[in-house]
């Protein structure tokens, strides 16, 4: 049994990229592991969200986690900011994170390019906060995408440096959880890049049948297949989405039509919209139910954040001891 930690930033409703790229894997992992899944609200502060907006989005992610099958009896579901111990560990790990390596992080460079007027220290030390999230529960495995490998490598470095300096074995060196074929990149509907890259290229777990159909019918394709011409990005993406939600026979049928050049994209899109609705409808209905059940959500969060805090304070206690703090009030 592994200890697993992963979080999602509260940026709004979950889209199919979040579902197939993260949450669906969490649902599998919770069966046989000691899992901690959290809403990364501290992380989201780098972009300065409004208070009301932040509150709403955190609740949204928790509800959509639950609607997607995360089970509070199996995994510890919590809000990052409920566990302040994370911020203490973040400060302590910052002493082992060097400015040069933080500046060289790919995600920092990308964010700094995207928001040149807000290159704050939180952005620079984002990988340290991520390391604190992971090490606070002494995680052994972290489900990460390719783009997060560098952060995990940094987490291992901070853990090693801390352990070496204080001559302790408090922190394990967490490894990437290997999903093999399960780790997929969900494409968007605009024919470029992955779902979630821009606001309107995604299908959300909350979308109703009409919205799903409208979005899919508008998805980018091309003028039609031509002999010896490679499949365009947009059409490839439609097939990828179809593979996620449709029966294997359906995908095969449209692939054959594509390769014998008789395909009508309109028909394929209609089928995809129908299958997508079938897939999303039960999740959407659970979201609606949960939205009207505030007391249940509060109970879940109290229980989850309480459990996460227990685990975090055990780690912090050990850490404070090896550092040599007086702990006068503890
Ligand atoms: P984000 O908050 O946008 O970083 O998304 C949270 C997590 O969802 C990421 O760490 C990925 O694991 C997953 N994710 C987001 N978008 C996609 C996508 N288009 N394809 C696959 N996984 C994705």
Asked if residue 148 belongs to a domain, the reply is yes
For ligand 1, the distance from its centroid to the CA atom of residue 274, given in whole angstroms, is 24
What total of structural domains would you count in the chain?
2
Kindly state whether residues 141 and 285 are assigned to the same domain: no
Question: Is 188 touching ligand 1 by the criterion CB < 6 Å?
Answer: no
Ligand 1: which atom is nearest the Cα of residue 22?
12
Secondary structure class of 190 (helix, strand, coil): coil
Closest by CA to 59, choosing from 26, 20, 13, 103, is 13
- pLDDT in the model for residue 185: 87
Question: Is 9 touching ligand 1 by the criterion CB < 6 Å?
Answer: yes
For ligand 1, the distance from its centroid to the CA atom of residue 21, given in whole angstroms, is 6
Positions of E strands within the chain? 3-8, 34-39, 76-79, 141-142, 175-176
Rounded CA separation 87/320 (Å): 13
pLDDT tens across 209-236, in order? 999 999 999 999 999 999 989 999 999 9
Asked if residue 198 belongs to a domain, the reply is no
Pocket test of ligand 1: the residue of 46, 145, 151 to mutate, having most ligand atoms within 8 Å of its CB, is: 145
Asked if residue 204 belongs to a domain, the reply is no
Residue 54's alpha-carbon distances to 58, 96, 290, in angstroms, are 6, 30, 19
pTM, two decimals, is 0.93
Asked if residue 104 belongs to a domain, the reply is yes
Give the rounded percent of residues in the chain with a pLDDT score beyond 70: 99
Secondary structure class of 263 (helix, strand, coil): coil
Whether 22 contacts 8, CB under 8 Å: yes
Whether 139 contacts 36, CB under 8 Å: yes
Rounded CA separation 99/143 (Å): 26
Of 109-118, 174-183, 191-200, the one with minimum mean pLDDT is 174-183
CATH, residue 254: 1.10.240.10
Asked if residue 221 belongs to a domain, the reply is yes
Of 35-44, 224-233, 312-321, the one with minimum mean pLDDT is 224-233
Question: Is 43 touching ligand 1 by the criterion CB < 6 Å?
Answer: no
Kindly state whether residues 228 and 173 are assigned to the same domain: no
Residue 291 confidence (pLDDT) above 70: yes
Rounded CA separation 324/167 (Å): 13
User: What does the buried/exposed string (b/e) look like for 143-167 if buried means 16 or more CB atoms within 10 Å of the residue's CB?
Assistant: bbeeebebbbebbbbbbebbbeeee
Rounded CA separation 107/103 (Å): 9
Q: What is the mean pLDDT of the chain?
A: 95
For ligand 1, the distance from its centroid to the CA atom of residue 199, given in whole angstroms, is 14
Whether 312 contacts 136, CB under 8 Å: yes
Please measure the distance between the N-terminal and C-terminal CA atoms of the chain and give it in whole angstroms: 32
Kindly state whether residues 101 and 148 are assigned to the same domain: yes
pLDDT tens across 102-126, in order? 999 999 999 999 999 999 999 999 9
Residue 180 confidence (pLDDT) above 80: no
Question: Is 11 touching ligand 1 by the criterion CB < 6 Å?
Answer: yes
Question: Is 107 touching ligand 1 by the criterion CB < 6 Å?
Answer: no
- pLDDT in the model for residue 229: 92
Secondary structure class of 3 (helix, strand, coil): strand
Kindly state whether residues 54 and 68 are assigned to the same domain: yes
CATH, residue 7: 3.40.50.620
């Amino acid at each position: 049994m592994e200890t697993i930690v992963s979080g999602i930033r509260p940026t709004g409703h979950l889209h199919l990229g979040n579902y197939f790229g993260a949450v669906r894997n969490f649902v599998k992992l919770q069966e046989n592991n000691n899992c901690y899944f959290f809403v990364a609200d501290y992380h989201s502060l780098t972009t300065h969200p409004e208070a009301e907006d932040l509150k709403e989005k955190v609740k949204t992610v928790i509800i959509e986690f639950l609607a997607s099958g995360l089970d509070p009896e199996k995994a510890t579901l919590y809000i990052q900011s409920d566990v302040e111990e994370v911020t203490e560990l973040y400060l302590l790990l910052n002493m082992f994170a060097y400015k040069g390596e933080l500046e060289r992080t790919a995600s920092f460079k990308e964010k700094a390019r995207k928001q040149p007027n807000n290159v704050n220290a939180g952005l620079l030390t984002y990988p340290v906060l991520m390391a604190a999230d992971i090490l606070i529960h002494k995680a052994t495995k972290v489900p990460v995408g390719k783009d997060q490998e560098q952060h995990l490598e940094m987490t291992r470095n901070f853990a090693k440096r801390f352990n070496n300096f204080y001559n302790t074995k408090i922190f394990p060196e967490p490894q990437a959880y290997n999903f093999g074929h399960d780790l997929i990149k969900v494409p968007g509907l605009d024919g470029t890049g992955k779902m979630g890259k821009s606001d309107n290229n995604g299908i959300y777990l909350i979308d109703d049948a009409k919205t799903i159909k409208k979005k899919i019918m508008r998805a980018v394709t091309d003028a039609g297949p031509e002999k010896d011409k490679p499949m365009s990005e947009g059409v490839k993406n439609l097939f990828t989405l179809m593979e996620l939600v449709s029966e294997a026979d359906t995908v095969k049928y449209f692939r054959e039509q594509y390769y014998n050049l008789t395909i009508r994209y309109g028909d394929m899109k209609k089928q995809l919209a129908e299958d997508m609705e079938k897939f999303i409808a039960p999740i959407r209905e659970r979201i609606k139910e949960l939205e009207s059940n505030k007391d249940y959500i509060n109970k879940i969060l109290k229980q989850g954040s309480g459990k996460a805090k227990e685990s975090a304070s055990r780690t912090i206690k050990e850490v404070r001891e090896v550092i040599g703090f007086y702990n006068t009030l503890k």
